Structure 1
Amino acid sequence: MKITDIKTAVVAYHGKATLVRIDTDAGVTGFGEANPDAGAAAIVGLISELKSELIGEDPRNVEYLWEKLRRKHVFSGAQSGIFLIALSGIEMALWDLAAKAAGQPLYRMFGGKFRDRIRLYADCGDGDGPAGSPEGCAARARRMVAEGFTALKFDIDDLEHPAKFDAVNHTINGAELRSMVERVAAVRDAVGPDIDLCIDLHARYDVPSACRIASEMERFDLLWLEEPIPAENVEALKQIRMRSKTPLCVGENLYLRWGFRELFQSQGVDVVMPDVPKCGGLSESRKIAHLAEIYYIPFAPHLVSTPLGTMATCHVCGTVPNFLLLEWHALEERDVWDSYVHVPGGGPSIVEDGHITLPDAPGIGVELNLDGVRKNAVPGYGVFE
């Protein structure tokens, strides 16, 4: 079996999500997805450049092909960023293809599964209207719990807060902090003590601000406080972790197992959250999870992908022992999100009661709905042309 072509499509979701298709001379096709937070034009262009290095190769040699591309381009950015995001999309398509060729669900290719269902947390953003208000946050929390979710996440970093003194320096002030506390208190009161609650700060703050926020959050028994500061400075993260009982979750902006090594060795994190279609791909994410397990750190991937990338990530979550939770970010774009794949069994969505069930179909286990892809394709990129 040889690779004959690699094509892309770009669809509207969380910005622009890049889908990848790999064709072979055996008639087997694999699909993957690159994280949509990066520039689609750059990802599409890079995949087009890398295609010539994969044509004629056996797609079942997934790890070899991944390493071939990474090593060859180590001097042109293959450590992080756009290159790794593009490589993650390619690698996902290779795994889908290899599993289909073997007639096996993807989790079998990874040694089998620890669990049948993947527990999700609903990313609730800044709540229902009025957005950002305690009442709006409480309303959304109750709505998602009613849909079966047992874990929620809210954003409380408000760069447009009227009490801010500076547009660049985000050192927290008392009025901002009170607003944060009021929103989290409203959510906790709305859902009670048994719903896991996560709070995201999007790496906005400095160490003094993060310590103040983390301290105030202790009363709410959070599952985690997410990225109060950028994750690159592990010593700064450790300062926050030592000063508060609130667990810290970081990792969505780190790449490859090497990018996580110091984080684990220095024990600057309580929960790790690599983004699978961003940090290097499916195999790399499993390696990161296994490294985390050495330090008894739970694995809870960040995710902003379509159902294709989501289900592929579920196969990773199902095959590592230290999996905790997986992000589900499609609340605001649910109809578009659901339209991108054919749901196994013909249901309306792969998400049911706050969980996703691992499919037994070969490959990732969901097939793209090309009608949905074409309907929501971003103009100017084509659809697998």
Structure 2
Amino acid sequence: MEITDIETIPLAHSLPAGEGLGDARGFGHDRATTLLRLETDTGLVGWGEAFAPGPIATATIETLFRDDVLGMDPYDVESLADRSYTDPYHFGGSVFVQSAVSAIDLACWDIIGKSVEKPVYKLLGGTERSSLTPYASTMYFTETDRPIAEPMREAVEEGFTAAKIKIGSNLEEDVERVRTAREVLGDDAHLMVDINGNYRADQAIRTAKAIEEYDITWMEEPVPPENLSGYRELKHQVDIPIAAGEAHFGRFEFKRLVGERLVDIVQPNLARCGGLSEARKIATLASTENIGVRPHIWNSGVGLAAAIQFAASVSDYPNTRNVPEPMMVEFDRSVNPLRHEILADPFDPTGGSLDVPQAPGLGIDVDESAVERYRADR
């Protein structure tokens, strides 16, 4: 079996004026990503995603990878990440190269699963899970006035038993947002906070100590991703578990987070970290140092499917049935047609539990007519 065709498909969706997605760094008005479609001489089609702007992802794939991918056996996929670090030399560590590798890697795994008629998570090894716990990403900062409790009430009404909220604007507002979220969620639910790297270490420490009483499952990106000394300082002074990884890519960057024990949880994004092959190596690094793994998800339906397959395989080590800790996957609760409209059967995270797809490959059928509606290059 060999790959006979490769197509990059940039997608974009703009939010209405005044309805931007807000985090501590500001407001965004566009959702964009890049899909990859691979076709083989057997007629099998695989889908991948590069979490990168369409023009950059397309140029990277066309310039650096197209000639190698055409004619490639999808089963050779695990050598792709290694080759990306050495050929082209000096470029392999860049986020755009690793995003391109991610797209190709995911599409190849999709094809492999389809060729053996098994879902990808069964091929990855590790722990097999038939269901996961979805958590709502919600309580964004908004451009228009809206009661801060309202999004969390909606999540609870949908059946979510875990949620992550945005904080990081100032200490007083951080405490108010966390207090409100905990009151609405209840005492038994998992509550995470995300600062999006907007604080210095001293600011993050003050917030962590102020919200500690609200039983926070993890504090995400308390300082910028490049501020490794800041993570080190936080680890020595904060009792809340620290999570990071969405802005890191490739196992070598994650090795620093893991090897220096700068975080308690790593969060590879499957469309940026190097794909499933690299994510599996990252998970092995993490489990070797007894660090948790929870995928980051801010993707289209394809990247979401990949994250679900990966999460279903992540090792429980060293936990046993006597240490109940659910494998949680992120579900953004903002409007995003790139997540649900491009799938023939969209994921439904409501109700507190998510069944892992058992169909071959990534377990999804991509609605190519919907993909065409959101193409950014037409």
Question: SS at the partner of 1:22?
Answer: strand
Quick one: percent identity of the two aligned structures?
31
Aligned 1:224-373 pairs, distance under 5 A:
224-322=218-316, 324-329=327-332, 331-335=333-337, 337-343=339-345, 349-373=347-371
CA RMSD, 1 decimal: 2.0
Question: Which amino acid in 2 is paired with 1:242?
Answer: H
Aligned to 2:207: 213
CA contact (8 A) 2:301 2:343 kept: yes
Give the C-alpha shift of residue 370 in structure 1: 1.4
Question: Which amino acid in 2 is paired with 1:73?
Answer: P
Aligned to 2:67: 52
Aligned to 2:156: 145
Question: SS at the partner of 2:75?
Answer: coil
* TM-score, normalised via structure 2 length: 0.87
Return closer, same or farther for 1:351/1:334 CA change in 2, 3 Å cut-off.
farther
Question: Which amino acid in 1 is paired with 2:340?
Answer: D
Out of 143, 156, 160, the residue aligned to residue 167 of structure 2 is 156
Question: Which amino acid in 2 is paired with 1:157?
Answer: G
* TM-score, normalised via structure 1 length: 0.86
CA contact (8 A) 1:5 1:51 kept: no
Question: Which amino acid in 2 is paired with 1:2?
Answer: E
Cα distance in 2, alignment partners of residues 141 and 17 from structure 1: 27
Out of 114, 117, 129, the residue aligned to residue 115 of structure 1 is 129
Return closer, same or farther for 1:69/1:294 CA change in 2, 3 Å cut-off.
closer
Aligned 1:93-104 pairs, distance under 5 A:
93-104=107-118
Q: Which runs of 5+ in 1 are unaligned?
A: 159-175
Cα distance in 1, alignment partners of residues 136 and 75 from structure 2: 34
Cα distance in 2, alignment partners of residues 334 and 9 from structure 1: 17
Q: How many residues align?
A: 352
Question: SS at the partner of 2:61?
Answer: helix
- The yes-or-no answer on 1:10 pairing with 2:26 is no
Cα distance in 2, alignment partners of residues 59 and 114 from structure 1: 23
Question: SS at the partner of 1:120?
Answer: strand
CA contact (8 A) 1:234 1:266 kept: no
Question: SS at the partner of 1:199?
Answer: strand
Give the C-alpha shift of residue 127 in structure 1: 6.2
Return closer, same or farther for 1:238/1:66 CA change in 2, 3 Å cut-off.
closer
Cα distance in 1, alignment partners of residues 181 and 119 from structure 2: 38
TM-superposition CA deviations, 1:135-177 (whole Å, max 9, x none): x23221121022121111111234xxxxxxxxxxxxxxxxx31
TM-superposition CA deviations, 1:242-293 (whole Å, max 9, x none): 2122221111111212112222222221221111110111121121112111
Aligned to 1:165: none
Aligned to 1:162: none
Cα distance in 2, alignment partners of residues 265 and 52 from structure 1: 36
Return closer, same or farther for 1:121/1:182 CA change in 2, 3 Å cut-off.
same
TM-superposition CA deviations, 1:171-222 (whole Å, max 9, x none): xxxxx31122111111111222111111111111111111111111111111
CA contact (8 A) 1:202 1:228 kept: yes
Question: SS at the partner of 1:32?
Answer: strand
- The yes-or-no answer on 1:81 pairing with 2:92 is no
Give the C-alpha shift of residue 309 in structure 1: 1.2
Question: Which amino acid in 1 is paired with 2:374?
Answer: N
Give the C-alpha shift of residue 231 in structure 1: 3.0
Cα distance in 1, alignment partners of residues 247 and 79 from structure 2: 25
Cα distance in 2, alignment partners of residues 228 and 119 from structure 1: 24
Cα distance in 2, alignment partners of residues 130 and 180 from structure 1: 19
Cα distance in 2, alignment partners of residues 139 and 358 from structure 1: 29
- The yes-or-no answer on 1:28 pairing with 2:44 is yes
